[in-house]
């Protein structure tokens, strides 16, 4: 990969992560509420029987209202489990009580109640990221985990939830960076046709 792109990605990740960390908690909660409300109203979510989402870290968009809604509406919920270097598998989330801290401090399902979900059963994946652009590009946190994972789930809808300040006109991306189908912020919903 081009070294300049690597450096540009690093710089943008750093900028966004410090902006996120500096966001006051009440603003984060309000923005998260708006973003999750926009998602819940969207047909991509409404029509999904099985969704994959991640248990958000303190600095990220808070997804607790999404999990609550999905449980009440009988969606099958999967969360990622890191199973090897750069590799994730979806595991069934029976309840929020079954979450424990796993690798890299990421919450996952505790071992005694872990069952895997088939990749092809996932209808919609909430994809985390640091920055997105108006072409559907995504900048992750630098591990390339979702770029690898999404290649294995080509039929699932790829949904990015982002704070308004994480959406740019253009961000650095390579052919390995998997594009989003939809990006939802507090104030905008962008949809993209697959190429
Ligand atoms: P992120 O997507 O988390 O922002 P990058 O796009 O910078 O991170 O990717 C991180 C690393 O993972 C890079 O070295 C990239 O080449 C590698 N990578 C991305 N996708 C794949 C893939 N499909 N197979 C193997 N390596 C990949
Ligand atoms: Mg990438």
Q: Residue 13 CA: which ligand is closest?
A: 1
Average the pLDDT over 36-47 and give the result. 98
Give dist(CA 90, CA 78) in Å, integer.
Answer: 6
pLDDT tens-place string over residues 136-164: 999 999 999 999 999 999 999 999 999 99
Of 14, 131, 144, best ligand 1 pocket probe by most atoms within 8 Å of the beta carbon: 144
pLDDT tens-place string over residues 112-136: 999 999 999 999 999 999 999 999 9
Is ligand 1 within 6 A of the CB of residue 87?
no
Give dist(CA 35, CA 188) in Å, integer.
Answer: 9
**What pTM was computed for the model?**
0.96
Is ligand 1 within 6 A of the CB of residue 147?
yes
Distance 142 CA to ligand 1 centre (A): 7
């Amino acid at each position: 990969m081009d070294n300049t792109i690597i450096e540009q990605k690093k710089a943008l990740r750093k900028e966004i992560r410090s902006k996120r960390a500096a966001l006051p908690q009440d603003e984060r909660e309000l923005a998260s509420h708006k973003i999750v409300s926009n998602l819940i109203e969207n047909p991509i979510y409404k029509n999904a029987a099985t969704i994959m989402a991640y248990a958000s870290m303190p600095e990220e968009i808070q997804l607790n209202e999404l999990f609550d809604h999905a449980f009440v509406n009988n969606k099958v919920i999967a969360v990622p489990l890191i199973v090897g270097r750069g590799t994730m598998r979806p595991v069934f989330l029976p309840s929020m009580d079954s979450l424990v801290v796993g690798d890299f401090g990421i919450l996952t399902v505790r071992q005694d109640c872990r069952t895997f979900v088939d990749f092809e059963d996932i209808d919609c994946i909430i994809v985390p990221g640091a920055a997105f652009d108006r072409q559907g590009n995504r900048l992750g946190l630098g591990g390339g985990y979702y770029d690898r994972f999404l290649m294995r789930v080509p039929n699932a809808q790829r949904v990015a939830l982002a704070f308004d300040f994480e959406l740019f006109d253009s961000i650095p991306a390579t052919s390995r960076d998997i594009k989003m189908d939809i990006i939802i912020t507090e104030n905008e919903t962008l949809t993209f046709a697959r190429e």
